[in-house]
Chain A
Amino acid sequence: MKKNFTSPAGRAFLALVLVFIIGSIFNADGAFFKLGTHRDTLREMSVYGILACGMTMVIISGGIDLSVGSILALAAVCSAKMAIHWGYSGWLVLPACLIIGGLCGAVSGFLTARLQIQPFIATLAMMVLARGLSKYASGGMKVSTAIANPDGTYRYVNVPPFFQDIDHRILGGSFSVVTLIFIACVLLGWLLMSKHRVGRYLYAIGGNEESSRLSGVPVVGTKIFAYAMSGMFAAMAGICQAAQEQQGDPEAGVGYELIAIAMVVIGGTSLMGGRGGMGLTLLGVLTIGYLDKILSINAVPEAGRLVLTGIIIVIAVLTQRRRRT
Chain B
Amino acid sequence: MNMKLIKILAYPSLVLAVIALTVGCRKSEDTQKANSPASSPPSQKQFVIGMSQCNLGEPWRVQMNADIAAAAAKHPELKVIFKDAQNDTLQQRAQVEEFAGSKVDLIIISPKEAQPLTEPVAEAMDAGIPVIVLDRRLLGGKYTCFIGANNEKIGKAAGEWIVKALGGKGNVVELMGLQTSTPGQDRHKGFLEGIAGSNIKVIFQADMQWLEPRARDEMESALARYDNINLVYAHNDDGAHGAYLAAKAAGRDKQMKFVGIDALPQEGIAYVKQGILDATFQYPTGGAEAIDTALKILHGQAVPKEIVLGTRLFDAQNVAQGGEDLK
Contact = CB atoms under 8 A, between A and B. Distances in A.
Direct A/B contact, Cβ within 8 angstroms: yes
Interface of A: 28-29, 31, 34, 36-37, 40, 44, 47, 111, 115-117, 121-122, 124-125, 128-129, 132, 135, 140-142, 144-146, 148, 152, 154, 156, 167, 169, 241, 244-246, 249, 251-252, 292-293, 296-297, 299, 301-302
A244 to B, nearest CB: 7
B213 interface: yes
Contacts of A128: 18, 21-22
Contacts, number: 107
A115 B5 CA distance: 10
Nearest to B204: A299
A230 B188 CA distance: 40
A245 B213 contact: yes
Nearest to B13: A115
A40 B219 CA distance: 10
Nearest to B9: A115
Contacts of A135: 57
B270 A156 contact: yes
B149 to A, nearest CB: 21
Nearest to A155: B270
Contact of B221 (A117, A122, A297): A297
Interface string B267-283: 10010011000000000
A44 B217 contact: yes
Contact of B224 (A152, A244, A297, A302): A297
A28 B221 CA distance: 10
A142 B7 CA distance: 39
B205 interface: yes
Interface stretch (B115-123, B242-250, B284-292): B242-250
Contacts of A152: 265
A34 B224 contact: yes
Nearest to B246: A40
B56 interface: yes
Interface string B225-247: 10000000000000001100100
B207 A31 contact: no
Contact of A142 (B207, B217, B225, B267): B267
A79 to B, nearest CB: 16
5 contacts: A37-B224, A117-B10, A128-B18, A145-B270, A246-B245
A129 B22 CA distance: 9
B221 to A, nearest CB: 4
Nearest to A32: B224
Contacts of B221: 28, 31, 37, 40, 293, 296-297, 299
Nearest to B25: A132
A266 to B, nearest CB: 19
B205 A117 contact: no
A36 B249 CA distance: 11
Contacts of A141: 59, 62, 266
A36 B224 contact: yes
A125 to B, nearest CB: 5
Interface residues of B, number: 42
A146 B264 CA distance: 11
Contacts of B266: 141-142, 144, 146, 148, 154
B212 interface: yes
Nearest to A37: B224
A153 to B, nearest CB: 8
Contacts of A122: 14
B206 interface: yes
Contact of B10 (A115, A241, A246): A115
B270 A302 contact: no
A36 B250 contact: yes
Given A144-B266, A241-B213, A302-B179, A44 B220 contact: yes
Nearest to A295: B221
Contacts of B220: 37, 40, 44
Given A31-B225, A244-B213, A302 B59 contact: no
Contacts of B22: 128
A296 B57 contact: no
Contact of B218 (A47, A115, A146, A296): A296
B224 A132 contact: no
A31 B22 CA distance: 46
B249 A167 contact: yes
Nearest to A111: B14
B242 A144 contact: no
B79 interface: no
A244 B216 contact: yes
A40 B7 contact: no
Given A125-B17, A140-B62, 4 more contacts: A129-B21, A152-B265, A154-B266, A245-B242
Nearest to A152: B265
B56 A140 contact: yes
A115 B7 contact: yes
B132 to A, nearest CB: 24
Contacts of B250: 36
A115 B6 contact: yes
Given A36-B224, A167-B249, A251 B57 contact: yes
Contacts of B274: 145, 156
Contacts of A140: 56-57, 59, 62
